[in-house]
Structure 1
């Protein structure tokens, strides 16, 4: 007596994570690009995200850190956030992928997390201003990298062996805790470096 094989369950929560964080990050990056164009047209223009002496996108945009590769950083975001949206959609469609695909995709998410972490350190310790759209990009990249990486490990999609898979499975029920710790570090650091931030809003 033969039995029909059961199709693997689609990772709906992970797919939704990818799509939502990708869409919100893309929106933030697109808004930054529009603000850049507005500044090119009128350098004296006050942007909607210039809301206080500390929350000032204009002052962040004019720094070399805001154009690390010779063009506005948000252009990288507009290109990069398309990837998680696309991957989330194909996951919902039943895509399973291969080890090399998931490894390359996860490597891209890691580079994105490293980049926004670097931008965070530059903004807080060297530039001295905060950008609301930039912080929204950070807020999307942090859970996107950490939660997806833990899920990827738990599913054995990365070439790190059985031990890494066991670690991923152990961490998966608590995958929210690591991005939460990352958020807390960012928030506490900002409040320490900008102690009068809340009183200026």
Structure 2
């Protein structure tokens, strides 16, 4: 049975899916464009090569950017179409089977794991930040956390009434999880790149 909170939530969730999906798609598309620009002009600095700390070229040329044998952003261009389509479907009144929601949530989880891994590689291994990559991170994080809470609150991921009730109560505050995730990333970046702020604003 849906509560007043969850009955109002589909519109908010749909808007989140569409907006975050569009942001992630745009960031992924820009990365693809930058990659082809780098291939055509190997010695040319990209527009997002701001300084030694913020450099798309360093990230795009890394082995981590081709984890599956092709540029990672291609996955984003294809993958971010899904939340956009699902969000539009929700607004249109479409009903999806429980297995579909579980599969979609699993896809968001894998996307979150992937961008988290890319974040650690970017900071601790490559040693440079990519603005377009960070835009993709910023879209993926709320997609996973908020949508997962919503799926738990509506009983699609659990049969526990207690957990569903707790998630329904927490649903209006689910953005806190994304905020915590953002703060962890910011803190790690500032600790690992102590000269970043002075390089950007000095």
TM-score (norm 1): 0.93
> Are 1:10 and 1:91, in contact at CA under 8 Å, matched by a contact in 2?
no
Provide the residue aligned with 2:104 in structure 1.
105
> Are residue 90 (structure 1) and residue 123 (structure 2) matched?
no
Provide the residue aligned with 2:36 in structure 1.
37
Provide the residue aligned with 1:64 in structure 2.
63
Query: Which of the pair has more CA radius of gyration?
Result: 1
Please give the alpha-carbon distance, in whole angstroms, between the structure 1 residues aligned to 2:125 and 2:183: 20
Provide the residue aligned with 2:167 in structure 1.
168
1:182 deviates by 0.3
Please give the alpha-carbon distance, in whole angstroms, between the structure 1 residues aligned to 2:166 and 2:104: 20
Please give the alpha-carbon distance, in whole angstroms, between the structure 2 residues aligned to 1:78 and 1:138: 14
Provide the residue aligned with 2:147 in structure 1.
148
- 3-state SS in 1 of match to 2:197: helix
Over the aligned positions, Cα root-mean-square deviation in angstroms equals: 1.2
Which stretch of the first structure deviates more once superposed, 124-133 or 165-174? 165-174
1:198 deviates by 1.1
The 5 A counterparts of 1:115-194 are 115-194=114-193
Provide the residue aligned with 1:3 in structure 2.
none
Query: What is the aligned residue count?
Result: 194
Please give the alpha-carbon distance, in whole angstroms, between the structure 2 residues aligned to 1:199 and 1:9: 45
Please give the alpha-carbon distance, in whole angstroms, between the structure 2 residues aligned to 1:126 and 1:170: 40
**Unaligned 5+ residue runs, structure 2?**
1-6
Please give the alpha-carbon distance, in whole angstroms, between the structure 2 residues aligned to 1:198 and 1:83: 36
Please give the alpha-carbon distance, in whole angstroms, between the structure 2 residues aligned to 1:9 and 1:178: 20
Please give the alpha-carbon distance, in whole angstroms, between the structure 1 residues aligned to 2:133 and 2:16: 19
- 3-state SS in 2 of match to 1:11: helix
Cα deviations by residue, 1:1-54 (Å, 9 ceiling, x for unpaired): xxxxxxx76711100000000001000000000000001111011111101110
Please give the alpha-carbon distance, in whole angstroms, between the structure 2 residues aligned to 1:131 and 1:10: 33
TM-score (norm 2): 0.93
> Are 2:158 and 2:164, in contact at CA under 8 Å, matched by a contact in 1?
no
Please give the alpha-carbon distance, in whole angstroms, between the structure 2 residues aligned to 1:104 and 1:181: 25
